[in-house]
């Protein structure tokens, strides 16, 4: 089971009116900046309350305006990685990763932290602070922190956009490993066509707050459903020639 979302939200004159569904796969929310992709992630995470709609994760309703259901963010069991990593600058790598497990006894917490340090190739960096890390290292810490609580869904808001190209390619490989190991639904926001086409099982195309097409990358690129999508396909062809 994955995610079902149908939400409406008006924010400063912008209307998000989106509906889509995904299975246990990697779905990419793709479109121009300002199309409503990040707002959608906030609705899934509970960081933004829609005016109306329904959000269901892994078979559990976390938001339903008709029934007055709005599960708070800390009870939705979601991993969230932001573009800027959002690491705590005064905490070491180890402390950042362990942050979500503070209520757990140390003898239970430490093996999990060590597992994440090894899985995300952060051994030797445990005592460093975020200011001492490269962009790629910061993102690996952010991934480790978001997954240490074993979330049911992973949300990624343009996590690679500030990285240079070689590191971006490395992080794409890491994300594929994450999918393989953790086997949870992943929702990735990006406006990078090559990123979308190389990572997505399902492409969900946004334009002006609406979902204008969904499908595999191949289906969307071969048979664009609208002018908006066709323009995006043209951009892809330009950059892949």
pLDDT for 165: 86
Q: List domains and CATH numbers for the chain.
A: 3-77+153-240 (3.40.50.300), 89-150 (no CATH)
Tell me how far apart the terminal alpha carbons of the chain are, to the nearest angstrom: 37
Query: pLDDT (tens digit, 9 = 90+) per residue, 66-105?
Result: 999 999 999 999 999 988 888 999 999 999 999 978 777 8
| 181 φψ region: left (φ > 0), alpha (ψ -120 to 50), beta (else) | alpha
Check: pTM over 0.85? Answer yes or no: yes
Residue 217 is predicted with a pLDDT of: 93
Q: How confident is the model at residue 17 (pLDDT cuts 50, 70, 90)?
A: very high
Q: Kindly report the length of the chain.
A: 241
Q: What per-residue confidence (pLDDT) applies to 163?
A: 86
> Contact 101/149 with Cβ under 8 angstroms?
yes
pLDDT tens-place string over residues 123-166: 999 999 999 999 999 999 999 999 999 999 999 999 988 888 88
Phi and psi, residue 188, nearest 5°: -115, 125
Angle (CA) 177-178-180 rounded to 5° is: 65
CB 152 within 8 A of CB 78: yes
- Assess whether pLDDT exceeds 50 at residue 209: yes
d(CA 116, CA 123): 9
Residue with tokens 């991934």: 143
- Sign of the alpha-carbon dihedral angle for 22, 28, 31, 32: positive
Are the beta carbons of 124 and 132 closer than 8 angstroms? no
Q: What's the pLDDT score for residue 235? A: 62
């Amino acid at each position: 089971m994955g995610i079902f979302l149908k939400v409406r939200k008006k924010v400063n004159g912008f209307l998000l009116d989106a509906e889509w569904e995904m299975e246990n796969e990697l779905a990419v929310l793709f479109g121009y900046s300002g199309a409503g992709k990040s707002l959608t992630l906030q609705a899934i995470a509970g960081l933004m309350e829609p005016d109306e709609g329904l959000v269901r994760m892994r078979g559990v309703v976390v938001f339903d305006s008709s029934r007055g259901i709005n599960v708070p963010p800390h009870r939705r069991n979601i991993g969230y990685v932001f573009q800027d990593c959002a690491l705590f600058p005064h905490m070491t790598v180890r402390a950042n990763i362990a942050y979500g497990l503070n209520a757990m006894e140390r003898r239970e917490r430490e093996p999990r932290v060590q597992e994440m340090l090894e899985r995300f190739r952060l051994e030797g960096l445990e005592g460093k602070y975020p200011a001492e890390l490269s962009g790629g290292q910061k993102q690996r810490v952010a991934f480790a922190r978001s997954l240490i609580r074993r979330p049911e869904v992973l949300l990624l808001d343009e996590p690679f956009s500030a990285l240079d190209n070689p590191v971006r390619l490395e992080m794409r490989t890491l994300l594929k490993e994450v999918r393989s190991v953790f086997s949870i639904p992943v929702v990735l926001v990006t406006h990078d066509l090559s990123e979308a086409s190389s990572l997505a099982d399902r492409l969900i195309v946004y334009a002006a707050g609406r979902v204008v097409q969904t499908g595999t990358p191949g289906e969307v690129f071969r048979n664009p459903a609208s002018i908006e999508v066709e323009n995006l396909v043209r951009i892809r062809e330009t950059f892949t020639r």
